[in-house]
Amino acid sequence: PPSASLGLRRVMSEPDTNTYFGTNTSPQASNSTKSSIKSYPSPSTSADPIRSSYSVQKEDAKVGPDSFIKLRLLGRGNVGRVYLVKQKETDKLYALKVLSKKEMINRNKIKRAMAEQAILSTANHPFIVPLYHSFQSNDHLYLCLEFCVGGEFFRALQQRPGRVLEEHEARFYAAEVVAALEYLHLMGIVFRDLKPENILLHESGHLMLSDFDLSIQAPAAGPPTMVKPSSPFFQQPMLDTRSCTNLRTNSFVGTEEYLAPEVIRGNGHSSTVDWWTLGILLYEMLFSFTPFKGATRNDTFELILKRNVEFPDLTSNPYRTSPGISSQCKACIRKLLNKNDKKRLGARAGASEVKSHAFFKPVNFALLRHMRPPIVPSKSNAVDAVHFKALKESVSLDLEDSRSQSGNEEAGPVTDSQSDPFEYFNS
């Protein structure tokens, strides 16, 4: 993952990018282009305005491993690590995800890395982590991403009193996730691994989805359609973002406590799995634990398949300033956690249906990005990475000695095969 793991638990309408960013280009770069960060003032009247998430402009550039200075290790996983690095030319900080080709081949994870690079190189949304460069050396793949000072959202939740959020705070972050999922679904992408560990906190306090290696993209995203509302209280037609992800897959992927019933049954799943995981995330933000966790993996699966969601009594919780969870909030969670994926909230019209639920009525989705988030990371020196768990490297990576597969350098073979499985990785 792109940030440190605590080891405590788990092994809209389409955005007007001209308005958001002043350009319609993607926040990614290849060996010949790069994107630079430029901030725009927030309309907040606060004496301490929050910097906007990011905007994108393209410039000519050529980067490789030796373009960066490694500062510290931020996180590590089975096939790679994430480093805080500084670009020599600009002194800007980035999160550099370094993936081992050998480990990816051994663990059969080549397609996942290629899928993540393909999705991030085309995504352009304020609540999705931007990819600025991607390149490779003989032994590694590199993804140069936005450095989110606030670290993992999971870690931020763990540091809150009682490890919980108030309902209005949870609604704010759930709304940002809905906006990001809406954008992904419009692009024909199903995220499939939503959880606090895969959400990063930008320095502004806004969320950014990360880790797209389990995501799947439809070969061709279909056009959105209009759906008549099922409720007599909402007469306006809804934009059906579900129709864009015209795929169904039987892959058994996701995180144990967040898996949807249809994934466990192996009956095939679609974009509605993202709305199930949103329900689990919302529940965890409010109660500090997931609703179906069992003593063992099989127990967890059994509870997901058979038990109805239950809400604990919060009247005696010393960390709560409000008396309890509203009926609208409970109703939203119940509908998101409907075990029948065809009746789940979002199954009929996607994000538009979720946004129209009474729980999100106080939210102005168009202005989310300009609102002050409940959690704003401390303004300590970003290089210190205080919101990341301190990790030590067992085997150090030397960026200076990493030879790039570009120019006239001759790349060594990564497999016995004549074809290079990473040939099309460079963006």
Active site members? 193
In the chain, the amino acid numbered 324 is: G
Using alpha carbons only, what angle is made at residue 216 by residues 152 and 189, rounded to the nearest 5 degrees?
A: 80
- Are 349 and 239 in contact, with CB atoms under 8 Å apart? yes
Q: 63: closest CA among 135, 13, 124?
A: 135
Using alpha carbons only, what angle is made at residue 55 by residues 52 and 56, rounded to the nearest 5 degrees?
A: 165
Q: 187: closest CA among 23, 53, 15, 369?
A: 15
E strand intervals along 221-344: 225-227, 238-240
How far is 59 from 57, CA to CA, in rounded Å?
Answer: 7
In the chain, the amino acid numbered 292 is: F
In the chain, the amino acid numbered 46 is: S
In the chain, the amino acid numbered 119 is: I
| Residue 297, CA atoms < 13 Å, CB-side half-sphere | 6
| Residue 130, CA atoms < 13 Å, CB-side half-sphere | 24
Burial class (CB in 10 A: 0-12, 13-18, 19+), 30: middle
Alpha helices in 267-350 (DSSP H): 272-287, 297-306, 327-336
- Are 217 and 119 in contact, with CB atoms under 8 Å apart? yes
Q: 414: closest CA among 142, 135, 214, 136?
A: 136
Helices 167-186, 327-336: axis angle to 10 degrees equals: 30
